[in-house]
Amino acid sequence: MPLRRKKSLSATQRRKKEHLELCLDTESVASPAGTGLDQYSFIHNALPEIDIDEIDLSTTFLGKPLKAPLLISSMTGGFTLARTVNRNLAVAAQQLGLAMGVGSQRVALEELSAVDSFKVRDLAPDILLLGNLGAVQLNYGYGVEQCRKAVRMIDADGLILHLNVLQEAAQPEGNRNFKGLARRIAEVCRQLEVPVVAKEVGFGISADVALRLKQAGVRAIDVAGRGGTSWYAVEAKRSAQKGEPLELTFANWGIPTEEALVQVRRAVPDIELVASGGIRNGLDIAKAVALGANVAAIGQPLLAPALESADKVIEFLRRVIHEIRIAMLCVGAKNIGALRKVPLTRRS
């Protein structure tokens, strides 16, 4: 697809800008149902025999070291304000030793002017950085070469292929042909030189889908369950702003984050997992790790800080990391390996 130089925003860029603006209004696009993580509690250890300052949060993901089990989730890109967001997030990731994913790069493969909004490697030379494309685009003319371009564009260490069936179905401009997509994902996994991560966008991945994704060759799965930003609600709000009736039929659709994580970890015990979808604090992350996640991802809560400054993002994430440390102290886990073995109780 030829690149075009434009001063005005393309239709895809306008859509990305509308997405960001809507996601800043947390309450209007949040899933009305919870993540399910609040059903779990740690057993408090009143005598942990640990110094909080000696707790080790370091881990690895996709072969790269992280200072904490935290991924800054894929959110945006494609226009000037998105560049500000991505670069402030990257500075924070570099300083704190975290992983980061960028938003869908399809817009940058079609519009040359959008490329710069995704480039952050100059600010974050050491982080685990993940590119991102919609998996469904593999049914609309994209293939391994476009995936390679997305990776090269930002010097990424891996590529996220996101699955967003309900969003595409609700989006007026949506691509809705998901037939044969598992085979096309497998082709990318076989030929791409970097690891592929399969990610939902907030409606969860089931055990059956996780097994098929593993068979396709993905190296990691982001379960991205129900409980955080609802991209169905985002598209419904977009349509309502254009004069269409506000449609909320599928407002409660999806697998809760907790349920998706537990199902997928049981089904594919030997694959790396990301827990996302409504992760809001360090206690959520600690619970997710204890339930089987390798890392957890935070997205929407970082948007407002990232629009302000990198320092605000760092302040927010430092608080989250400190909360992980507190949770680990209170269960007597001196490192992430120990946290993975800590039992949780669940309300019946």
| pLDDT of the residue at 7 | 59
Domain ranges of the chain: 32-346
pLDDT at 41: 98
CATH class of 32-346: alpha beta
- Report in angstroms the alpha-carbon separations of 45 from 42, 56, 106, 297: 9, 18, 48, 27
* CA gap 285, 259 in Å, rounded: 15
What is the pLDDT at residue 272?
98
pLDDT in tens, 276-316: 999 999 999 999 999 999 999 999 999 999 999 999 999 99
The predicted structure's pLDDT at residue 3: 44
CA–CA separation, 120 and 126 (whole Å): 11
Residue with tokens 């959008």: 114
- Residue numbers of the chain with a pLDDT score lower than 50: 1-6
Q: How far is CA 205 from CA 17, 101, 210, 224, 293, in A?
A: 27, 19, 7, 7, 13
